[in-house]
Amino acid sequence: MTVNMGPQHPSTHGVLRLILELSGETVISADATIGFLHTGIEKTAEQKKWQQVIPLVERMDYLGPQSNSLGFILSVERLMGIESKIPERVRHIRVLIAELQRISSHLVWLGTHALEIGAVSVMMYCFRERELLLNVNEMLAGFRMFPSYLRIGGLREDLPPDFHETVDAFLERFPSKLTEYENLLTKNQIWMKRTRGVGVLSKEDTIAYSLVGPLARAVGISYDVRRAFPYLGYETYEFDVPTRTHGDVYDRYLVRIEEMRQSVRIAKQALQRITPRGVFDIQDYRIVPPPKDKVYTEMEGLIQHFLIYSQGFTVPPGEAYVPIEGPRGEHGFYIVSDGSNRPYRIKSRPPGLYACQAVPKMIEGGMIADVIAVIGSTDVVMGDVDR
C-alpha cells in the first residue's frame, strides 16, 4: 500500500511530504518531497541591502535564527576585509549568543521529539527553560523570536542593564534542569525501546549524505566547525565535542543532551570575558550608523546616518563563505558581491536539507511508528530546507 505520511512532526505540517510504500506496518520504500513553503529567501535577499538580509536569513531557521544571521554576517565581514577589526568584546558576545541559541534550539527539539514519542510532560519542562532564553532575546532587542541583534560590523546596540545577572542566573539554573530531563528519559524503558536501534545510519552513509552536527557525531564523526575551522576565537575556549557510536535515534538524543552541557560551559567562559559596557561595533560610520547621541548634534553624523539607512553600504566585488557550527551542524552562506549595496548572489548550506535526503535511508525496513522517531531525531527545520 502507498500512503502519504503525516503531518506528524511540528516542522512537517504540510511542508514535508513522505510517500511511503508499506507492507503491513513495515516501510518498504520512502520518498521525501520538499519545497512547499515557497519562501524563496535566497532569491529575495538579492533584492535587499546587505543589512536588510539579516531578518530574512533568521527566518530560514526559526529555531536558531541568530546562528543563521551570524553565518551570513561573518561571510560579509570576510568579503569586506574587516574580520580583524571586529572588537574582541563583540566576538565574545557573539559566542555567548550563539551558545544560548544552541541551547534554545535543542530545547525545542527535545520537547517536541519527546512529545511525539509519548513523553508529553518533557515538552512542558523544556519550554519552561526556553522561555528564560526568549526573555534574554527580549532584553537585547525587544523581540523574542527574531531579535536581529547581530549586525554586520558588530551589534545593534550595547548590552542592556542586568544582562550579566540574567544570563548568569540561567547558566546556574540550567544544568540541574538538564539532569531533570535525563531522569525522565535516559533510562526510561519506553523511551529506550522507541529509540534504541531505530533509524540507524552507518558512518559511511553519514559521510555519503554529507550529514553534519549531532547526526554525524552520533556515529563517531567528531567534526565540529568550532574546532575544525575556528571562528570568533573558539580556539581559546575549553569544551568537548561529544560523540557516540551506534548512529541511532537514542545516540542522537545523548549527543544533543551533552552538547547543551558543553554550551553552558562555553557560555560561562564567554560571560566572564565580557565587560558590562564597552565598544559594540567597528565604529566605522561607513558601515554602522553613528551613536544615537551624535546623530542629531553633528551634521556629519546626520548625513552618514541618512546615507546608511537610505542607500546602504557597498561591499567589494568577490565571494566568501564562512562556515559556522549551528544547532544542526555546519551551515553558512556563500555570498557573491558585484560591488553594489546589494548581494549579487546568496546561497545557503542548510544541514536540514541533507538530513531530509537521508530520512528514506533511515526509515526503510522499519515500522511506521519508527518514522515519527526518526524525523524527530533529525531536528529538521523546514524553513532552511525549502527550495
Concatenated DSSP letters for 82-108? -GGGS-HHHHHHHHHHHHHHHHHHHHH
Q: How far apart are CA 212 and CA 163, in angstroms?
A: 33
Q: Which three cell numbers stand for residue 37?
A: 513553503
Instruction: Give the pLDDT band (50/70/90) at residue 382.
Output: confident
Write down the domain spans for the chain. Answer: 42-378
Q: How far apart are CA 259 and CA 221, in angstroms?
A: 14
- Answer with the residue of higher pLDDT: 276 or 295: 276
pLDDT of 8 strictly over 70: no
Cβ atoms of 101 and 140 within 8 Å: the answer is no
pLDDT > 90 in the chain, percent = 76
Q: How far apart are CA 245 and CA 218, in angstroms?
A: 6
pLDDT of 58 strictly over 70: yes
Around 197, how many Cα atoms within 13 Å sit in the side-chain half-sphere?
5
Cβ atoms of 113 and 256 within 8 Å: the answer is no
Q: Which three cell numbers stand for residue 305?
A: 546616518
Look up residue 186 and give its DSSP letter. Answer: T
Cβ atoms of 38 and 140 within 8 Å: the answer is no
Element (H, E) at 324: strand 324-326
For residue range 129-160, list pLDDT tens digits in order. Answer: 999 999 999 999 988 899 999 999 999 999 99
pLDDT for res 302: 61
Q: Which three cell numbers stand for residue 359?
A: 530520512
pLDDT > 70 in the chain, percent = 91
- Helix residue ranges per DSSP H, the chain: 41-45, 53-58, 65-80, 88-117, 120-141, 163-185, 189-195, 203-208, 213-217, 225-228, 249-273, 292-295, 299-310, 351-363, 368-378
CATH number given to 42-378: 1.10.645.10
Q: Beta 2-5 vs 17-23: how paired, if at all?
A: antiparallel
Per-position DSSP letters for 20-75, written without gaps between them: EEEETTEEEEEEEE---S---HHHHHTTS-TTTHHHHHHTTSTTSHHHHHHHHHHH
3 state DSSP class of 305: helix
How far, in whole angstroms, is CA 195 from its chain's centroid? 24
- Answer with the residue of higher pLDDT: 15 or 112: 112
Q: How far apart are CA 73 and CA 76, in angstroms?
A: 5
How far, in whole angstroms, is CA 344 from its chain's centroid? 24
pLDDT of 293 strictly over 80: no
Q: How far apart are CA 302 and CA 1, in angstroms?
A: 68
Q: Pick from 174, 170, 201: which is nearest to 259 by CA?
A: 174
CA distances from 218 to 130, 244, 247 (A): 24, 5, 5
Model confidence, pTM:
0.92
Instruction: Give the pLDDT band (50/70/90) at residue 311.
Output: confident
CA distances from 313 to 64, 341, 343 (A): 27, 5, 11
pLDDT of 364 strictly over 90: yes
